[in-house]
Amino acid sequence: MKRFIIIGSCVLAVCAGVWTYMWWQSPAETKDFTSAEQKTQGVLGSDTVLTPWQTQYFTTSYPNNLRVITTNEVAHGLTEGQYLLGSASLSQTDQLAVTVGKLDSLKFDELPAVKLRQQRTDMYQPITLSYASQGAVAFSSKSGYETAVFWQQGTMYAAVVVSGSSARQAELAGALESVILNWQWH
């Protein structure tokens, strides 16, 4: 009987330790989105939940497997706002960067990021994206995975760049498409 009590106590202590460890490692907070807060878009035969995103300059939606990491709306140079989204999974290094700004006296094709990609043909190649707006220019990196799209609206411009693992190229391309298709200037 004494042996049974000792073994039972040890099993109970191990179970309590495992439960405590699992509880400690679980996320601190989860949020359930209401249907008013999310849209669904079919990407590659699956449903992707889109999270609405509104800034001072634009409104769009991005897949819920991304999260906003930084927001900077302090104007400097041509740039009015810079935003960085990253994977919700900390083990993935995918990024989606958005920059908006005013062209001032510059022509659209004189933007430094556009000029760099046009001039560095050893690193970038122009591509056509069917969902990009009229007049938009897009580039793809020749090494690794990066796709950049630039367009203007009046005196404003936007740049959306997605980069990450080539193995996740389809998912990243879907994120880029979601942001651009749902884009509305303020």
**Residues in the chain, how many?**
186
Domain count, the chain: 1
Which among 1-10, 17-26, 31-40, 45-54 has the top mean pLDDT?
45-54
**Is residue 174 domain-resident?**
yes
Backbone angles phi, psi at 37, to 5 degrees: -95, 0
Q: Which pLDDT score is estimated for 41?
A: 45
Q: Which pLDDT score is estimated for 125?
A: 96
**Is residue 118 domain-resident?**
yes
Q: Which pLDDT score is estimated for 89?
A: 85
What single DSSP character describes residue 88?
A: S
Percent of the chain with pLDDT over 70: 80
How would you class 63 by CB atoms within 10 Å of its CB: exposed for 0-12, middle for 13-18, buried for 19 or more? Answer: buried
Average of per-residue pLDDT across 150-160: 96
Average of per-residue pLDDT across 122-138: 95
Q: Which residues contact 186 (CB under 8 A, 6 or more apart)?
A: 56, 57, 58, 59
Q: Which domain holds residue 134?
A: 32-185
pLDDT higher than 90, residue 35:
no
Average of per-residue pLDDT across 154-172: 92
**Confidence bin at 23 (pLDDT 50/70/90):** low
Q: Which pLDDT score is estimated for 165?
A: 86
**Is residue 27 domain-resident?**
no
Q: Which residues contact 73 (CB under 8 A, 6 or more apart)?
A: 55, 56, 57, 80, 81
**Confidence bin at 88 (pLDDT 50/70/90):** confident
In angstroms, the CA 173 to CA 178 distance is: 9
**Is residue 5 domain-resident?**
no
**For 27, how many CA atoms within 13 A lie in the half-sphere containing its CB?**
6
Percent of the chain with pLDDT over 90: 59
Q: Which pLDDT score is estimated for 166?
A: 85
Q: pLDDT tens digit string along 133-148?
A: 999 999 999 988 999 9
In angstroms, the CA 173 to CA 165 distance is: 11
In angstroms, the CA 62 to CA 67 distance is: 9
Q: What is the CATH number of the domain that holds 39?
A: 3.40.1000.10
Q: Which pLDDT score is estimated for 20?
A: 65
**Is residue 43 domain-resident?**
yes
**Is residue 54 domain-resident?**
yes
* H, E, C per residue of 137-149: EEEEECCCEEEEE
**Is residue 138 domain-resident?**
yes
pLDDT higher than 60, residue 87:
yes
Q: pLDDT tens digit string along 38-79?
A: 444 444 445 679 999 999 999 999 999 999 999 999 999 999
In angstroms, the CA 105 to CA 78 distance is: 10
**Is residue 133 domain-resident?**
yes
